[in-house]
Amino acid sequence: MREKFPNASRPILAVAVSMAVLGGCAVSDYQRPTIERVGAVDGRIVFAADVFRGAAPERVRFTDIWQREEYALFRDGGTQAEIIYSTTTTPVFTVILEYQLMVDDMVETWNLNKNHTKAWDESRRVEAPLGPFFYKPYRLVGADRACFGFATEWDHRGDDPEYRPSKVLFGYYCAKPGAPLSLDTMEDLIQTIGVKGVTERIRHADAARREGAARAADARTQADAALIAHGPSPSADRGNASFPFDLAQFFAESGNGDKDR
C-alpha cells in the first residue's frame, strides 16, 4: 500500500461543469454532483472508540456518478477526530481513486492542523479490521495536543496498470489538550475505525432513504453542508477546505500496457 494522498481537489463547480456532458448526453438531476448533510443512519464512516461513545458526529456527503466522499467530525470532551472516506460508485466505467500526498501532507490539509506548529514522529503501520493502516504521530506544539494521522486503501483494481484502489479512508485524531496518547492507544483506536458495508452491514431501507435524500438536495442545503465540511474559516479548529477531494479518475489499458486517461 502506498502512503500517498491527493495533491488538491477541483472545486465542486468545476466538477459540475465537467459532468454536464457524458458521452454526448446531458446528465439527469440525480447524476449532477450533490453535497448534503447526512445522519448516523445514512453515514458510512464508523469510529466506535469509547471516547466518542454517545457523541453524535457531524457528517457531510458529496456524490456524483463516479464517486462518493463522506466527511465526518467526531468530538467529545476536547477530543477530536475528522475522517474522509472516498469510494468509486460505478462498475460500468474503469474508474479508480488517484492520490499523491504522504500522510503528513494529508494531515496539513485539515484546518485544525494548519494553525499549529507540529513535532512529528516516524510513520508506522498496523493491521486493523478495515485493512492495513499507515499512521504517523505528531504533536500540536502550541496547543499541547498529542495527535496522529492515519490512512488506508483497499479494493485495488487488478485491470489498472498501476493497481490503484477504489476505496480510501484518511484522517486524524487529537487527544484533548495536555492528555497523553501512547502508540498502543493509537493502534487500539485504529481498530475501532470502520465503514458500513465493509466492516458492518448496511440495511437496504437505509440505502434507499439515502438515495432519496440525494435527489432532494437543493443549492441552499448544499451550501450549508459545504460550510460544515470546509469549516467556518481557514483559522477554524475543524473542517477541510479540500473537501471533496475529487479523487476519481478514468483509466484505460492500451495495447502496449500504457495507461490512457
Residue 208: exposure state from Cβ atoms within 10 A (0-12, 13-18, ≥19): exposed
Domain chopping of the chain, boundaries: 12-232+242-253
What letter does residue 116 receive in the DSSP assignment? S
What is residue 162's predicted lDDT score, i.e. its pLDDT? 74
Q: Identify whether the C-beta of residue 45 lies closer than 8 Å to the C-beta of residue 54.
A: no
Could you give the CA distance from residue 20 to residue 28 in angstroms, rounded to a whole number?
Answer: 9
- Most distant pair of Cα atoms in the chain: their distance: 58
The pTM score is: 0.81
What is residue 39's predicted lDDT score, i.e. its pLDDT? 84
Indicate the SS3 state at residue 19.
coil
Residue 170: exposure state from Cβ atoms within 10 A (0-12, 13-18, ≥19): buried
- Low-confidence stretches of the chain (pLDDT beneath 70): 1-31, 91-93, 202-220, 253-261
As a whole-number percent, the residues of the chain with pLDDT over 90 amount to 52
Q: Compute how many other C-beta atoms are within 10 angstroms of the C-beta atom of residue 211.
A: 12
The cell numbers describing 117, all together, are 506548529
Cell 460505478 found at: 90
Could you give the CA distance from residue 240 to residue 170 in angstroms, rounded to a whole number?
Answer: 12
CA-wise closest residue to 67 among 42, 41, 35, 39? 35
Could you give the CA distance from residue 150 to residue 132 in angstroms, rounded to a whole number?
Answer: 10
CA-wise closest residue to 68 among 60, 76, 58, 78? 60
What is residue 212's predicted lDDT score, i.e. its pLDDT? 52
What is residue 140's predicted lDDT score, i.e. its pLDDT? 97
What is residue 55's predicted lDDT score, i.e. its pLDDT? 87
